[in-house]
Amino acid sequence: MHNQEITFFADVSAMNATSTPPIVNIDHLKQACGNCSLGALCLPMGLDDKDVDELGRIVKRNRPLHRGDHLFRMGDPFHSIFVVKSGSVKSYSSAQDGDEQVVGFHLPGEMLGLDAIDRGIHTCAAIAMETTAVCELPFDRLEDLASRLPSLQHQLFRLLSKEINREEEMLLVLGKKSAEERLAAFLFSLSARYKRRGYSDREFNLSMSRQEIGNYLGLAVETVSRLFTRFHEDGLLEAQRKHVHILDMERLESMVSACTGAMHQHARMG
C-alpha cells in the first residue's frame, strides 16, 4: 500500500519533469483516489482540493475480478476507462477469421479502454489474467470534468498520445526485430515496469503464459519456449515456468538497444 503511494510520486515526477511541480499533497490524493492510481491525473496540474475531490468522486470501485473474468468484450458499449489497481489484465482483439492478437498486458497503475472512445464500443476485449482489482472512470464524467479543468484535459490528451507511442514502438518491434530481440524487449519492458512499481526488476512472476507471450510478440509458442531455454543456457536469466530471474541485465538491455522504449509501459495514470 505504502509502496504504491510512493510510486505515485515517482511516476508523476518522472512524467512531469518539465512541467509545474505538484501542488496537491499526498493526503488529498489518498483521500480522493483511494488505492487507485490517479496520481498522473491529479498531481501535476495544480488542481485545488475541490477538483481533486471531484475527480475522486467519479472513480467507481468495482468488485475484484477473477482469472478469466472479462472486464469487457469486443463490441461492448463503451462507458468507462479502467486503471489496474492490482493483478493484471490482458487485452486482445480478434479478426474476422478468428485470429487473435494480444494487444497489451496491463500491470498495476496502467490504463486500458482508450481505444473504445472513438466508436463508443470496445474494439478489444479485456480479461483478468489473475485476481485483479481495477478502478473505473466513467468517461462522460471525465470529459465533463476535463472541459472544466484544462490541465486534466491536457493530461488526458497526453495519456492517449502515450498509448499511440507505445503502439508505434510495438510496430517497430513486430516489423523489424528478430524473435530473440522481441523476447528480450518484452522481458526488459516488464522488468522496467515492475521496477517502477517498486518491485524487483530482476525477479518476478510472469502473469501470462508462453502462449500469450508468443501471441503478443508474433511468435509461435515453441519459439518462445526455445528462446527462454537459450537465454537460460546463455546465462542471461533463469526461468522456471512463470518465475523469471534476470541475471545479466546489461546484456539484456544491449539486446534491446534497438527498441528504445518499446513496450515499456502502457498509458498510465500513476
Q: Which residues bind a second copy (CB under 8 A)?
A: 18, 93, 95-97, 99, 101, 103, 114-120, 123-124, 143-144, 146-148, 150, 153-154, 156-165, 167-172, 174-177, 215-218, 257-260
C-beta separation of 112 from 40 below 8 A: no
Which spans in 26-137 are helix H? 26-33, 39-42, 49-58
Is 239 among the residues that bind DNA (CB under 7 A)?
yes
Nearer to a second copy, 6 or 121 (CB): 121
Nearer to a second copy, 35 or 153 (CB): 153
C-beta separation of 212 from 242 below 8 A: no
Tell me which residues in 170-189 interact with DNA (CB under 7 A): 178-180
Nearer to a second copy, 38 or 125 (CB): 125
DSSP code for 56: H
Residue 187 touches which member of DNA, a second copy, none, C-beta under 5-8 Å by kind: none
Tell me which residue of 36, 34, 44 sits closest to 12, measured CA to CA.
44
Residue 21 touches which member of a second copy, DNA, none, C-beta under 5-8 Å by kind: none
In the complex, the smallest distance separating the C-beta of residue 223 from a second copy, rounded to whole angstroms, is 13
Tell me which residue of 264, 217, 267 sits closest to 82, measured CA to CA.
267
Nearer to a second copy, 84 or 124 (CB): 124
Residue type, 254: S
In the complex, the smallest distance separating the C-beta of residue 162 from a second copy, rounded to whole angstroms, is 4
In the complex, the smallest distance separating the C-beta of residue 91 from a second copy, rounded to whole angstroms, is 9
Three cell numbers written together for 7: 510510486
User: DSSP characters for 71-98?
Assistant: EE-TTPBP-EEEEEEES-EEEEEE-TTS
Nearer to a second copy, 48 or 131 (CB): 48
Three cell numbers written together for 182: 522481441
Is 35 among the residues that bind DNA (CB under 7 A)?
no
Nearer to a second copy, 158 or 232 (CB): 158
CA contacts within 13 A on the Cβ side of 183: 27
State which of residues 210, 264, 266, 268 lies at the interface with DNA (CB under 7 A). Answer: 210
| Other Cβ atoms closer than 10 A to 133 | 18
Report the distance separating Cα 166 and Cα 143, nearest Å. 23
In the complex, the smallest distance separating the C-beta of residue 30 from a second copy, rounded to whole angstroms, is 26
Tell me which residue of 70, 69, 90, 76 sits closest to 122, measured CA to CA.
76
Q: Check the CA dihedral 144-149-151-152 and report its sign.
A: negative
State which of residues 15, 170, 219, 255 lies at the interface with DNA (CB under 7 A). Answer: 219
Is 34 among the residues that bind DNA (CB under 7 A)?
no
In the complex, the smallest distance separating the C-beta of residue 171 from DNA, rounded to whole angstroms, is 14
Residue numbers at the binding site for DNA (CB under 7 A): 178-180, 209-211, 218-226, 228-229, 239-242
